Amino acid sequence: MADLIHAINRTLSAIFGVLLLPFHALNPFWALAFISLVAGILMVWVFGKVSDQESIDRTKTRIQGNLLGVWLYQHNVGVVLRLQKHIFGDILRYLKLSLVPLLVLIIPILLIMTQLNLYFGTRPLHAGEQAVIKLHLTQPPEQKGKFEIHQPDGVEVETPAVRIPSLNEVVWRVRATKPGRYNLSIDAGGEVVTKELVVADRWDAVSTMRTQNWLDELLYSSEPPIEAGKHTRSVEVFYRPLEIPVWTWYADWLTLFLVLSIVFGFAFKGVLGVQV
């Protein structure tokens, strides 16, 4: 399962890499806005294809007509109550008509958000910065076991392995010395596991975790899953979060994506002729 998920996400990563390539020299806000525009239009188009547009249009028209009736007959309690009953029924009908299309949209939305988290969730280390690397095992690390990182040129391992038996973990602190994409080789008690470390002076795709669990692979999909049967569950690098400047303040990528994709979707629903 993990291999299948990785294959799907690897294809998506290649697509997103091409889409975002022209934006790498710009504020990451513009890259996120572009993906939100594409996603918003795509989601509205898919909604129109998988939903009963005629029934949605009739239901919305009835709701609007009954709301107008409530305003016109606001002094007639009996009429207002009957109209409110019809409005409530139509709202439930509208929710029912929208449920299946929304369930269909969950899958592409999750796949898009996985890719966005790869680019906008965290940022690469800058030269001179430190990071903690955590090895999570299936069992407590042996005190006499060998745990070390074979440091490449460009990365310095500043501490020996710190074993935490109660958590089945081993941690190190490393420092980046120059930009590059480094493939760290970690000796994990007799078995070798690799993990990518990214050092750059601008935003880029960053894989925070390499994992064996297929559910985690949904979120951390940039690197191949750790082979089944190994004692290493995951290797994680603690990068700093990416701050996306929006005028005079900083925004979280998830909030920006949700807001912008909804705004763009509603802006283009008339052009696409879709009732939402």
The pLDDT assigned to 125 comes to 96
Q: Are residues 110 and 136 in the same domain?
A: no
Mean pLDDT (the chain, rounded): 89
Q: Are residues 175 and 258 in the same domain?
A: no
Q: What is the mean pLDDT of residues 170-199?
A: 92
Q: Are residues 145 and 228 in the same domain?
A: yes
- At 128-156, the pLDDT tens digits run 999 999 999 988 887 767 899 988 899 99
Residue 122, beta-bridge partner list: 241
Q: Are residues 100 and 201 in the same domain?
A: no
- At 53-96, the pLDDT tens digits run 999 999 999 999 999 988 988 888 888 889 999 999 999 999 99
Q: Are residues 109 and 136 in the same domain?
A: no
- Say how far apart CA 43 and CA 63 lie, in whole Å: 24
Share of the chain above pLDDT 90, in %: 60
Confidence of residue 230 (pLDDT cuts 50, 70, 90): confident
Q: Are residues 224 and 268 in the same domain?
A: no
Share of the chain above pLDDT 70, in %: 97
3-state SS class at 207: coil
Which residue segment(s) compose the domain that 164 sits in? 130-240
Residue 184, beta-bridge partner list: 195
Helix (H) or strand (E) holding 232: strand 232-237
- Say how far apart CA 18 and CA 8 lie, in whole Å: 16
3-state SS class at 63: helix
How many folded domains does the chain comprise?
A: 2
Residues 211/226, Cβ–Cβ less than 8 Å: yes
Q: Are residues 218 and 258 in the same domain?
A: no
Residues 274/49, Cβ–Cβ less than 8 Å: no
The pLDDT assigned to 3 comes to 65
Phi, psi of 176 (to 5 degrees): -85, 135
- Say how far apart CA 274 and CA 276 lie, in whole Å: 6
The pLDDT assigned to 211 comes to 87
Select the more confidently predicted residue: 276 or 50: 50
Confidence of residue 223 (pLDDT cuts 50, 70, 90): confident
The pLDDT assigned to 35 comes to 96
Side chain identity at 45, as an amino acid letter? W
Q: What is the mean pLDDT of residues 13-29?
A: 91
Q: Are residues 236 and 256 in the same domain?
A: no
pLDDT for residue 256 is more than 70: yes
- Say how far apart CA 51 and CA 271 lie, in whole Å: 17
Q: What is the mean pLDDT of residues 248-270?
A: 92
Residue keyed to tokens 């709701």 = 63
Its pTM stands at 0.84
- Say how far apart CA 206 and CA 198 lie, in whole Å: 7
Q: Are residues 157 and 198 in the same domain?
A: yes
DSSP 271: H
Select the more confidently predicted residue: 182 or 276: 182
Residues 239/124, Cβ–Cβ less than 8 Å: yes
The pLDDT assigned to 140 comes to 87
The pLDDT assigned to 221 comes to 67
Q: CA nearest 123: which of 39, 212, 24, 224? A: 24
Q: Are residues 145 and 187 in the same domain?
A: yes
Q: What is the mean pLDDT of residues 105-123?
A: 91
Q: Are residues 197 and 255 in the same domain?
A: no
Q: Are residues 30 and 108 in the same domain?
A: yes
pLDDT for residue 18 is more than 80: yes
The pLDDT assigned to 36 comes to 96
